[in-house]
Amino acid sequence: MNAGSLLGLVAQRIALGLVLLLAASALIFAGTQILPGDVAQSILGQSATPQALANLRAELGLDQPALARYLSWLAGALQGDLGSALSNGQDIATAMSHRLGNTLFLAGTAAIIAVPLALILGLVSVRYQGRWPDKVISGVTLATVSVPEFMLGYIAMFLLAVQFQVFPSVSTIHDGMSLLEKLRSIALPAMVMVLVVLGHMMRMTRAAILNVMQSAYIETAELKGLRRFTIISRHALPNAIAPIVNVVMLNLAYLVVGVVVVEVVFVYPGMGQYLVDHVSKRDVPVVQACGLVFAAVYIGMNMIADIVALLANPRLRHPK
């Protein structure tokens, strides 16, 4: 396939991602509109007069048709204007930028640990397939995948913060802290997030490599007398990289989007905690903005995984 055709496929994936993001924005807006309760009532309280409620609805634009409000919100989001929070009047984009930075710091720290560890454990598991190292690795990772994030968080907090007091139970970070202080503060939530995604990535790595190990060229390498670990790392792993990249990107997206529960457990000042705080206040603009950012991250990571798979696997570039 020539470069032009490949660029066309990449452009198609990008266009599809943009269409999916547009659809996600419509679903997010519609979902917030059908929530029970009245935003104006929640702001002014139960003692507000009908006239005060009508004035506030007009001020917030709630008296306009839903389609007009959606188009106005979407136009502002495309220009980087996510509106102002109803609860405190703060600019959402400004407040969210700091929170998003904290979430990306936590997710990035977890990813730096989880991705290499998953690849190493997957290689070791394949190298000792059917033997005790493989069984131990598979059993432990399956157990971590099966336990909910909040349960892992509370167990880690009880053991490492309460019983042995190795790490703080509340993960609070601020700009004045050094890198080491920040890393110590986020040690527990980062550990929980690593355990949550490690099992899925390791098991997919193992399955992808074992699938490639059935190929004829692997048998040829074995007949040449190459060591098993050399065959796995130099011949099987490069040809299994496409499905591995896909699952890694999906889990990286989860580290950002699915961090809500972990942030709430450890009171971490990230996007998840920011979203939960404003959901309780029924602050619809903040909920919409957080949902849009999470959707953009998830769709963007999936789109990158799809493009990397196209580049890594030529068979995906041709119609079946």
Provide the whole-model pTM. Answer: 0.85
Q: What average pLDDT score do residues 205-217 get?
A: 86
pLDDT higher than 60, residue 145: yes
Structure confidence by residue, pLDDT tens digits, 257-277: 878 889 999 999 999 889 888
Domains located in the chain, CATH noted: 94-298 (1.10.3720.10)
Is 103 in contact with 109 (CB distance < 8 Å)?
no
Q: Bigger pLDDT: 110 or 215?
A: 110
Q: What are the distances in angstroms from CA 116 to CA 5, 125, 228, 237, 318?
A: 33, 14, 20, 13, 31
Identify which of 51-60, 147-156, 243-252 has the greatest average pLDDT. Answer: 147-156
pLDDT higher than 60, residue 56: yes
Q: What average pLDDT score do residues 136-163 get?
A: 91
Structure confidence by residue, pLDDT tens digits, 275-306: 888 887 778 888 899 999 999 999 998 888 88
CA 277 to chain centre: 19
Q: How much of the chain, in percent, has pLDDT values that exceed 70? A: 94
Q: What average pLDDT score do residues 34-61 get?
A: 75
pLDDT higher than 80, residue 111: yes
Q: In a 10 Å sphere around its CB, with 0-12 CB exposed, 13-18 middle and 19+ buried, how is residue 107 labelled?
A: buried
pLDDT band (50, 70, 90) for residue 118:
very high
pLDDT higher than 70, residue 319: no
Q: Mean of the per-residue pLDDT values for the chain?
A: 86
Amino acid, res. 251: N
